[in-house]
Amino acid sequence: MLSNLNGIHSANIYNIQPVKAKASTGVSANYAQKPVACPAFRGYNPVNIAKTTLQSPADIQKFTEISANLDTDGKKALDFMLKTGILLNNKSNDKSSTLDNLHKIITNKRANGLDAKTMLNDTVKTIANPAIITQHFGNIPENIKSILKDYDASTQEVPHSGCCVAASIEFNLASQMPAEFARVAEGLSSEKMSSSKTISLNNLCDNKDDAKWLLDNFKIPYTMKDDNKAEVTIAPDKNAIFRAHIQTIDRDELERSPLDVLMQSTFMNVGSQQTYNSLNDVRVASFGPGDRGLVEIEKTFTESVVTDSNKTAVTFQDVQEAEENGVTVAKLTGYKASDKTIKRSLLNSLAQGQNVIIGYTSVDENNNIIGGHEITVIGAKTTGDGKLIFVCNDTDDDSPELVEYHEDYIIPRIHHVGLPTEIVEADSHLKSIA
């Protein structure tokens, strides 16, 4: 929860070269390779969900029309979604089901430059296995560059994306709220290229006036529905359609799908006060320094708006600016919590069925931060010696699979986490540093 709004200023430790997970750092890249094995769906157990069979003629017709527009892998993913209860899940802002929203993608007109079948296939496959989400930008073909010049737009290539926060939020939405993910995907790819939703102001701040202040200062269009409810509209930046079109006609392996482009552009735009530019992956700094990525307050605000949930950012590392050889560096100077407290915060969140987006850093021999990244913790398991292995999703690891981090590797590197507010409120230590 963003309750302390005075003097907000966050260090952007992610406005640096990104950190990528490698096997040599204690990561196993072999955790899940098939959608059916993806632990992100641990909450969608067919035994606990009644709706795994199409009942009404209308739903059967929708399923048939969707399936007819899918490729072979898409059909397999759709069947998986039905058998696991994901397809008929209706945990969305307007109570529409995943099935309803997928059907809208293929039956309603898409934005100019987007292909309905491509968007449908990407949405189905992403919901079936969110680990395929990536933040990797594609190149801009020469013929598109000439068009962009006519629009006086940048033709700059983006070798290292700053969208790790946005991609992590995209993963969380797909894995935990598939119906809402499909609803947002339908809206962002439609002719209006936006999605509206009703959110609770008290999921942003205890004080509703402060919540309105946040919406105003993040420049989110909204209309009050009652004393605590607001209808907000989220949308990608104006240049996102160029990127989405490029990825529709010229997408290479391990690059973002058009769906990834629209989702990540939207979430970057929400968090950067509507200043994000999809062409060069740059935003205008406001709540923090730097023009890449999102800082903690921006990330927490975006996650709260997108999921309409009450999140609190907790920072565990002390980072101070220092001068070294005439250069200003960000230096890790200490920790605000013990390893035990950090592990407890993650495990308590996972016990509630909540994934946790974490920001972690890498330092050199002088404790200068040389890189940072945002990933999602989705599970944990215990080793033979009692240590923990955290199962994570990384949108920048060149692999459409989940990864594992040993606690000795990842816990000391965690700079901040986004936790359910009730977990922070129930833990005196977390509450004192939030």
What is the pLDDT at residue 371? 87
What is the pLDDT at residue 318? 94
What is the pLDDT at residue 325? 83
Element of type H or E holding 304: helix 296-307
Domains located in the chain, CATH noted:
310-433 (3.90.70)
CA distance 201 to 305: 9
What is the pLDDT at residue 30? 33
Smallest Cα–Cα separation from 315: which of 302, 303, 329, 299? 299
What is the pLDDT at residue 12? 55
What is the pLDDT at residue 328? 84
pTM for this one?
A: 0.90
What is the pLDDT at residue 152? 59
pLDDT digits (tens, 9 = 90+) for 328-375: 888 999 999 999 999 999 999 999 999 999 999 999 999 999 988 999
What is the pLDDT at residue 39? 39
Across-strand partners of 23? none
Asked whether 164 and 293 are in contact (CB, 8 A), the reply is yes
Asked whether 193 and 244 are in contact (CB, 8 A), the reply is no
Number of CB atoms found within 10 A of residue 68's CB? 10
| Amino acid present at 387 | K
What is the pLDDT at residue 4? 46
Please identify every stretch of the chain with a pLDDT value under 50, giving residue numbers as ranges. 3-10, 15-48
